[in-house]
A and B are shown apart, each in its own frame.
Chain A
C-alpha cells in the first residue's frame, strides 16, 4: 500500500502559467514533507520542504501548501518555466527525517 501518492503521472503547463503538483499521504505520523526535482540521468535534488507545524512555505517561485486534515500537500510553481520540466517527487518522513518515503513522481512538462 502506497503511503505517499501522486495521482497525476504527468502534467503539461504553458510557460508563464501556474503548475500545481499534488501529493496525498496516508500515514498520520508523517510530520515532515519534501519535494524533490529530478532531471534525466541525475539524482533527485531537494527543492522545498514543509513541517507539519506549518501550512505554507514559500521559496521564490515555489510554494508548498500542507493540509493536514486532508493529508494533502501541493507544490505551486509560479510562473512556470521550460527549465522546470522534470519529474517531481513528494517525500514524507515520520522520524525526524531519518527515513523518507517517496511518492511515484509527476512528470511536469512546461511548454514554451
Chain B
C-alpha cells in the first residue's frame, strides 16, 4: 500500500465555520506534511511532522492548526478562514529519517472558502 488518503476531496466552508482535513497513510512513514497549492503555483510547505511532533511550521497563520494524533494520521483544523485560503491542500508522507526518501502525496482536498 503506497497510498496517502485525504478526505474530503472537496470542501466548501464559510468564514465562520470550523472544519478539519484528514490525511492517512499506512506505509509506516514517520514524517508527514501539509502543503498548500494555489492555481498555477507549485505546492508550498505549511507544516512538517516528524515522529508525531511538529518540526516545521512555515509561518502559517493560526487559523490553520495541524494535529498528528498518531503515526498514521494527520489532521488540519480550519477556523475563521478567509476567501484567499481557497486552494488545494495536499498531504504527503515520507520515511522521514536517514538516507534517500521520496514523499508520497495524497490527491488533495480542494477547499473553497465563501
The residues of A with any CB-CB pair to B shorter than 8 Å are: 32, 34, 36, 41-46, 49, 51, 89, 96-105
Q: Is the CB of B96 within 8 A of A49?
A: no
Please name 8 further chain A to chain B contacts, defined as beta carbons within 8 Å, in addition to the given A43-B105, A89-B43, sorted by A numbering. A36-B105, A43-B6, A44-B105, A46-B104, A98-B56, A98-B96, A99-B45, A102-B44
- Choose among B41, B45, B96 the residue that contacts A97 (Cβ–Cβ < 8 A): B96
Q: Which of A32, A36, A51, A97 has the most CB of B within 10 A?
A: A97
When C-beta atoms are compared, the residue in chain B nearest to A103 turns out to be: B42
| Cα(A41)–Cα(B96), bound, Å | 27
| Cα(A45)–Cα(B48), bound, Å | 19
The residues of B with any CB-CB pair to A shorter than 8 Å are: 6, 31, 33, 41-45, 48, 50, 55-56, 88, 90, 94-108, 110
Residues of A within 8 A of B103 (CB): 34, 46, 97, 100
26 contacts between A and B (CB under 8 A): A32-B100, A32-B101, A34-B103, A36-B105, A43-B106, A43-B107, A44-B90, A45-B105, A46-B102, A46-B105, A96-B96, A96-B101, A97-B31, A97-B96, A97-B100, A97-B101, A97-B103, A98-B31, A98-B56, A98-B96, A98-B97, A99-B45, A100-B33, A102-B42, A102-B44, A105-B42
When C-beta atoms are compared, the residue in chain A nearest to B44 turns out to be: A102
- Choose among A45, A46, A96 the residue that contacts B98 (Cβ–Cβ < 8 A): A96
Given contacts A51-B100, A105-B42, contact A97 B94 (CB under 8 A): yes
- Choose among A41, A89, A97, A104 the residue that contacts B102 (Cβ–Cβ < 8 A): A97
